[in-house]
Amino acid sequence: MTELLTRYGDVEEVWLDGAKGEGKDMDYMFDAWFALIHQLQQRVVIFSDAGPDTRWVGDEAGVAGYTCWSPFNKSTVTIGHIIPEYSRCGDPFGQDWVPAECDVSIRPGWFWHASEKPKNATTLLDIYYKSVGRNCLLILNVPPNSSGLISTEDMQVLQEFTEIRQTIFSQNFAANATVTASTVRGGLGNQQFAPSNVLQESIYSYWAPEEGQSSWEMLFDLGQSASFNVIQLQEPIQMGQRVIKFRVEILVDELWQTIVEGTTIGYKRLFQFPVVEGQFLKLSIDSARADPLISFFGVFMDSFSVTYSLENHEKPSVVNSSEVIMLRTDHSFGNKSIATM
């Protein structure tokens, strides 16, 4: 291990798989290994079932829990022995910061076989939404072929996957929106926590409300009507992960219709839903561990994934293929005063 970590340049991650053969049980010196790894590569991330830096999400399909907390109790699991639901969802009361990491192969298995084909780009995009889009890291395995090279087939899929993501997320319909909020910490003129901060894709600028509130709202005027089917949300995770429950609504014919109901956000949350069209959106945070902080709100159009048009207000819609919601209407704009920045 010392040779590996001192003779080959910077190492980004050390992966402890957690699998072992059927031979004799052994005692492993994990604490000593972790200390040595961090001593020799101070910026390295150590992955295992129980951290210390990132944890396994619990499957090899690249799919995270719909609710996924980065807080976690490392003492609850051990390497090689996990509690699947706990690893998948994390723990809002966890004492350790251990984000989940998803792993999946571009091919049916972890190794290259001439008879097998790689996943296509839209399948990888679906995995991306269900891993990176659920507050997780994604490790995509791309195995070398029998010549020791990445196959042309795999490289083509990876290029298509990259181009699709760039196309989707290159046009943010909320980039020039007018943003208002129910409150602003420090008062209306405090630019440090202004609602407009959420238009910059950075975790180092964010909106913060006044303290002591029990619910929170942000309103977005896109400037003109737009058609879209993806919303991106981010929290400034250097301040922790706070949001427990939220929803996004769109104003249609003077009625608020719910298009997204979510739980955790974290570093990045992506929601897919049937295509909608409108100019005004509302983000409502109904529950949070502490005063919620939002660092980014984006609105995008994904023309590559399967989407459905909303024909009427009663049609069920699938959000990220894991939660069915019913569009609801709300005749009110809320009973709070709105601060504009």
Number of other residues whose CB lies within 10 A of the CB of residue 308: 13
Residues 132 and 182 in one domain: no
Residues 210 and 317 in one domain: yes
Residue found under tokens 């980039």: 175
Please say which residue of 151, 169, 187 terminates a domain: 169
Give 173's DSSP letter. Answer: T
Compute CA distances 199 → 74, 105, 173, 215, 297, whole Å: 35, 34, 10, 21, 6
Residues 183 and 74 in one domain: no
- pLDDT band, residue 22 (cuts 50/70/90): confident
Determine the distance from the C-alpha atom of residue 273 to the mean position of all C-alpha atoms in its chain, rounded to a whole number: 16
How confident is the model at residue 190, as a pLDDT? 87
More confident residue, 318 or 26: 26
Query: pTM above 0.95?
Result: no
Region of 321 please: left (phi>0), alpha (psi -120 to 50) or beta: left
Mean per-residue pLDDT, 312-322: 34
How confident is the model at residue 316, as a pLDDT? 33
Number of other residues whose CB lies within 10 A of the CB of residue 121: 19
Residues 279 and 322 in one domain: yes
Residues 141 and 287 in one domain: no
Contact 138, 102 (CB under 8 A): yes
Domain containing residue 74: CATH number: 3.20.20.80
Residues 39 and 162 in one domain: yes
Residues 41 and 138 in one domain: yes
Mean per-residue pLDDT, 178-201: 94
Residue 69 scores a pLDDT above 60: yes
- pLDDT band, residue 337 (cuts 50/70/90): very low
Residues 105 and 184 in one domain: no
Mean per-residue pLDDT, 63-92: 95
Residues 238 and 110 in one domain: no
Q: How many domains does the chain have?
A: 2
Q: How far apart are CA 30 and CA 331, in angstroms?
A: 58
Q: What percent of the chain has pLDDT over 90?
A: 82
Please say which residue of 142, 169, 196 terminates a domain: 169
Compute CA distances 111 → 116, 138, 142, whole Å: 10, 18, 8
- pLDDT band, residue 307 (cuts 50/70/90): low
Contact 108, 71 (CB under 8 A): no
Please say which residue of 116, 151, 169 terminates a domain: 169
Domain containing residue 183: CATH number: 2.60.120.260
296-301-305 Cα angle (round to 5): 115
Residues 221 and 276 in one domain: yes
Residues 243 and 290 in one domain: yes
What residues make up the domain containing 108?
2-169
- pLDDT band, residue 288 (cuts 50/70/90): very high
Residues 55 and 140 in one domain: yes
Residue 154 scores a pLDDT above 50: yes
Give 87's DSSP letter. Answer: H
Residue 327: which of 309, 319, 315, 335 has the closest Cα?
A: 315
